[in-house]
């Protein structure tokens, strides 16, 4: 399909984020990896040190005729705490930051509007600290990280570190 677009999100550990976002109708494919750092290459061991400044991210290919970027942002903000800098639950460090890596000026505008709207509600106890970073490079994560939940639990239930809140 030539009409697919890409979105890249960091919301903590990428396993649960990939599973949840990958199940949204209109999301055609997902890959986990690393983006937004200063290192010229990246791998899991290096990213875990925090020194590469890369975030764990999920890159989506999606059909905008089925799901819009704005709708994807709604899921994104429902599945993690966007008010904690460099932390999701027990996971701490810059690799776990809440981040949107925008692929176009339209995505940047939509993300800014979404954050502004959410900050004006009482849905969060603090201000959203999600970083808006221009997408430059995506470093594909290791094979064992790709579709982790599908491989580990063969589509069945299993523990997951993310869940969708009903508050959006």
- Structural domain includes residue 39: yes
Q: In which domain, by residue range, is 40 found? A: 5-153
Q: Is residue 120 part of a domain?
A: yes
> Is residue 67, in this structure, part of any structural domain at all?
yes
**Which of 9, 11, 12, 13 is flagged as catalytic?**
13
Dihedral sign (CA 63, 35, 126, 164): positive
* Domain count of the fold of the chain: 1
Q: Is residue 90 part of a domain?
A: yes
The CATH number of residue 62's host domain is 3.30.1060.10
For the whole prediction, is pTM greater than 0.85? yes
Q: Which two tokens stand for residue 88?
A: 């999701």
Active site residue 13: yes
Per residue in 4-51, pLDDT (tens digit) is 999 999 998 888 899 999 999 999 999 999 999 998 888 899 999 888
> Residue 30: inside a domain, yes or no?
yes
Q: What is the pLDDT of residues 60-76, one digit of tens each?
A: 999 999 999 999 999 99
- Asked whether the beta carbons of 88 and 12 are under 8 A apart, the reply is yes
pLDDT per residue over 73-111, tens digit each? 999 999 999 999 999 888 899 999 999 999 999 999 999
User: Are residues 130 and 98 in contact, defined by beta-carbon separation less than 8 angstroms?
Assistant: yes
């Amino acid at each position: 399909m030539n009409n697919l677009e890409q979105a890249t999100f960091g919301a903590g550990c990428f396993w649960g984020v990939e599973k949840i976002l990958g199940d949204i109708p209109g999301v055609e494919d997902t890959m986990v990896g690393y983006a937004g750092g200063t290192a010229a290459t990246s791998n899991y061991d290096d990213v875990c040190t925090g020194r590469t400044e890369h975030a764990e991210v999920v890159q989506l290919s999606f059909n905008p005729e089925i799901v819009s970027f704005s709708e994807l942002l709604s899921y994104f903000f429902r599945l993690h705490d966007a008010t904690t800098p460099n932390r999701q639950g027990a996971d701490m460090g810059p690799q776990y930051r809440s981040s949107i890596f925008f692929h176009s000026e339209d995505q940047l505008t939509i993300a800014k509007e979404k954050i502004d709207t959410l900050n004006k509600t009482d849905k969060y106890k603090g201000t959203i600290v999600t970083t808006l970073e221009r997408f430059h490079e995506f470093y594909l994560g290791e094979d064992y990280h790709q579709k982790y939940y599908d491989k580990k639990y063969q589509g069945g239930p299993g523990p997951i570190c993310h869940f969708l809140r009903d508050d959006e």
